[in-house]
Amino acid sequence: MQPKDVPAFRLSDIQLAYEKLSVLEGLNFTLDRGEIVGLIGANGAGKSTLIRVLLGLIAPQAGTAELLGEPAAALSAAARGRIGYVPQSPKLFAWMDGASMLRYFGAFYPTFDGAHADALAERLKVSLKTPIQVLSPGQQQRLSIIRALSTRPEILVLDEPMAALDPAGRLEVIEQLVAEHRQRPMSILISSHITQDLQRLCSQLAILHGGRIAMQAPLAKFQALARVMVTGPEQSLAAYAFERAHYVRADGAMHRCYIIDAHDLADMLGALPADLHATPASHDLEAAVSEWMR
């Protein structure tokens, strides 16, 4: 058993490129035990690549990846048995039914709980007697989540786990994840574009942008961000800088979009040159985090 101060995972100075395309550039990312972090980034930002590096499925060119205090690329069998993974595209045995598939995977996990799997299937409305190839994409995704949770994992990694689910299905999954986390100190990393879902589930958010974690903070910190559009002569915009801004985007000539802490808004407006104009600030979380994805 690892000491409690060992994080669930730690990525340090990760570098990974495909040919001449750099994907992860000196990336650092840590999740403490018991936390739930939502990973957000634009399509192609490298979220799935980050997850595969974390799980030891691909090796970076530089840097270190650790899970439960062990090298991700050389995890012990005991450590692997404490990790649950739900990929973006579930890789299930289509010729089996759900019950047979769960029994097969359960044989590899000493902590597999068949009764819990049955209860999850009933809760998430998945027939375990139906051939997997007959199940809808949403039902297959739920079955993949059931498979991961049935092993009672210590770390759960989910890569866009609800992309194929309808709103009711997403809410059911979130409620189940919240209930599981409440029962035991499970650490969760979930990649998703759906900020409403992340607000219901996560204790932290992390933004992947430019190959690095641009910002990682408690959810409350993200909910207190403000999005401010500043317009005016390009020369004045280029000369102006608000050092406490978390992100600045040039939205064409004569426009800048700033993401700042809401409590810094008065200071920012007070420092604006006379020829620059700020529109009313938006405090919408989705609008703020989407700035890193544009």
202-249 tens-digit pLDDT: 999 999 999 999 999 999 999 999 999 999 999 999 999 899 999 999
**Does 94 lie in the same domain as 120?**
yes
How high is the pLDDT of residue 127? Answer: 94
**Does 191 lie in the same domain as 60?**
yes
**Does 216 lie in the same domain as 241?**
no
Query: What does the block give as tokens for 281?
Result: 């600030």
Contact 51, 189 (CB under 8 A): yes
Answer whether residue 71 is part of any domain.
yes
Query: What does the block give as tokens for 251?
Result: 């939205």
Q: Is the pLDDT of residue 5 over 80?
A: no
How high is the pLDDT of residue 3? Answer: 54
Answer whether residue 186 is part of any domain.
yes
**Does 189 lie in the same domain as 118?**
yes
CATH of the domain at 197: 3.40.50.300
Answer whether residue 157 is part of any domain.
yes
What would the mean pLDDT of 161-190 be, rounded to a whole number? 92
Buried b (16+ CB within 10 A) or exposed e, 154-165: bbbbbbbbbbbb
Query: What does the block give as tokens for 89?
Result: 């595209």
Place of tokens 């910002």: 215
Answer whether residue 73 is part of any domain.
yes
Contact 108, 80 (CB under 8 A): no
Answering whether pTM is above 0.75, one says yes
> What's the chain's average pLDDT?
92
**Does 42 lie in the same domain as 173?**
yes
Q: What is the 3-state secondary structure (H, E, C) of 123-175?
A: HCCCCCCCEHHHCCHHHHHHHHHHHHHCCCCCEEEEECCCCCCCHHHHHHHHH
Percent of the chain whose pLDDT exceeds 90: 83
Contact 106, 120 (CB under 8 A): no
Q: Is the pLDDT of residue 151 over 70?
A: yes
Residue 260 β-bridge partners: 226
Q: Which domain holds residue 266?
A: 224-293
CATH of the domain at 245: 3.30.70
Residue 216 β-bridge partners: 206
- How far, in Å, are 148, 206, 208, 273, 285 from residue 257 at the CA level? 40, 20, 18, 16, 15
How high is the pLDDT of residue 294? Answer: 84
Percent of the chain whose pLDDT exceeds 70: 99
Question: End of a domain among 220, 235, 259?
Answer: 220
- How far, in Å, are 50, 70, 160, 272 from residue 56 at the CA level? 10, 11, 19, 48
Q: How confident is the model at residue 292 (pLDDT cuts 50, 70, 90)?
A: very high
**Does 70 lie in the same domain as 179?**
yes
The pLDDT tens digits of the residues spanning 86-114 come to 998 887 888 899 999 999 999 999 999 99
Instruction: Decide: helix, strand or coil at residue 55.
Output: coil
Q: Is the pLDDT of residue 19 over 90?
A: no
Question: End of a domain among 220, 254, 275?
Answer: 220
